[in-house]
Amino acid sequence: MTKKAAVEKPVEKEIETEVLEAPAPEAQVEESHDLAVVHPSLKKKLFNIQKQLCDTGVSKDGKGSQYATRSIDVLIGAMSEKFSQNRVVLQPEIEDVSRSIVELNSGKKQNCTIVKIRYHFLDIDSDETLSTVFYGEASDSLDKSLQQAITNCYKYLMIQHFQIPVSPMNSDPDTVQSEEEHDAGGEGVKTVTAQLLTPEDLAGIRDLIARTGTDEAQFCKFLKTESLEKLPLVSAAGAITALRQKEKSQSTSKVTTPQAAAVMAAMNGGTNK
């Protein structure tokens, strides 16, 4: 009797399955609290504002008696937009106000006000602060000379501090656009004449010259310019400061510093009067 070979059944191996435990959820980081947000410095923000204004310009839309001007409403609108975009606040602080009565050539008297204002540029992201001082002047027959002086102070600070052009292409009728192509060694060179004073600027400087009894020819010589009409706009602030120094020294009957005395003498052709 033959024995049948036992058929071995295949052993079923248990498949070991490795249970992977899910990692513990990571702590959520709140961007507003735990991630440092890097903001540009205040100086960079002010440079960005200048660049934006250079790209857009602020046109002359206001109408004066004889010429177009940049109205304060348009200028404030442009500056407010740029300050808000760059998260910068401008805070004015009046440091000094001086008033006087001036008599015009016509014999009419007006109230003249000069204000000294310190402007603080505040960075709301870093609390960084930069400050600068500027002067404003205005004359009015009624009671608006102070407000007009404050307005002029802000207006010309913004224009000069941020170097605001009238338009992106600087196409200003009051700007001398003497662009000449000439050959220098075979290469074309473009020369652009600097922006000059507006009639409003000239009238203001000549009013100061008359009030201080300054010789205009000597004053132009002091500023190294042929005439006030050819005085570059960028030099106007220094000219006005020199005249106000003289006016202040006359009102106090003394000159406080040797530098101021030298300025007075230069403007008077060598005599300090």
Q: pLDDT tens for residues 212-234?
A: 888 888 888 888 888 888 887 76
Q: Which two three-digit tokens encode residue 176?
A: 């001398």
- Would residue 222 count as lying in a domain? yes
- Would residue 32 count as lying in a domain? no
Question: What's 135's domain CATH number?
Answer: 3.30.390
> Could you count the other beta carbons within 10 Å of the beta carbon of residue 109?
12
| Closest by CA position to 153, among listed 88, 244, 231, 64 | 244
Residues 158 and 44 reside in one and the same domain: yes
- Would residue 191 count as lying in a domain? no
Residues 96 and 204 reside in one and the same domain: no
Residues 200 and 154 reside in one and the same domain: no
Give yes or no for a contact between 96 and 115, defined as CB atoms under 8 angstroms apart.
Answer: yes
- Would residue 14 count as lying in a domain? no
pTM score of the predicted model: 0.50
- Would residue 229 count as lying in a domain? yes
One-letter-per-residue 3-state SS of 35-59:
CCCCCCCHHHHHHHHHHHHHHHCCC
Residues 148 and 45 reside in one and the same domain: yes
| Closest by CA position to 155, among listed 96, 229, 92, 245 | 92
Residues 158 and 60 reside in one and the same domain: yes
Residues 87 and 202 reside in one and the same domain: no
Single out the residue in 119, 151, 166 at which a domain terminates.
166
Mean pLDDT over residues 178-182, rounded? Answer: 37
Residues 209 and 150 reside in one and the same domain: no
* Domain range for 123: 39-166
Task: Please report which confidence band the pLDDT of residue 242 belongs to, taking 50, 70 and 90 as the band edges.
Answer: confident
- Would residue 219 count as lying in a domain? yes
Sort strands 68-69 and 88-103 into parallel, antiparallel or unpaired.
unpaired
- Would residue 20 count as lying in a domain? no
- For the chain, the domain total comes to 2
One-letter-per-residue 3-state SS of 48-102:
HHHHHHHHHCCCCCEECCCCEECCHHHHHHHHHHHHHHCCEEEEEEEEEEEEEEE
Q: pLDDT tens for residues 21-78?
A: 555 444 444 444 444 557 889 999 999 999 999 888 888 775 544 556 788 898 999 9
Single out the residue in 149, 166, 183 at which a domain terminates.
166
Residues 102 and 44 reside in one and the same domain: yes
What is the C-alpha separation between 131 and 90, in angstroms, rounded? Answer: 10
Element (H, E) at 154: helix 145-161
Q: What angle do CA 172, 178, 182 make, to 5 degrees?
A: 145
- Asked whether the CA dihedral 161, 151, 87, 124 is positive or negative, the reply is positive
- Would residue 31 count as lying in a domain? no
What is the C-alpha separation between 188 and 186, in angstroms, rounded? Answer: 7
What is the C-alpha separation between 218 and 5, in angstroms, rounded? Answer: 134
Q: Indicate if the pLDDT at residue 271 is higher than 80.
A: no
Task: Please report which confidence band the pLDDT of residue 241 belongs to, taking 50, 70 and 90 as the band edges.
Answer: confident
Residues 160 and 206 reside in one and the same domain: no
- The pLDDT value recorded for residue 166 is 84
DSSP 160-224: HHTT--SSTT---TTS----EEEEETTEEEEE-PPPB--HHHHHHHHHHHHHHT--HHHHHHHTT
Single out the residue in 166, 185, 210 at which a domain terminates.
166
- The pLDDT value recorded for residue 186 is 42
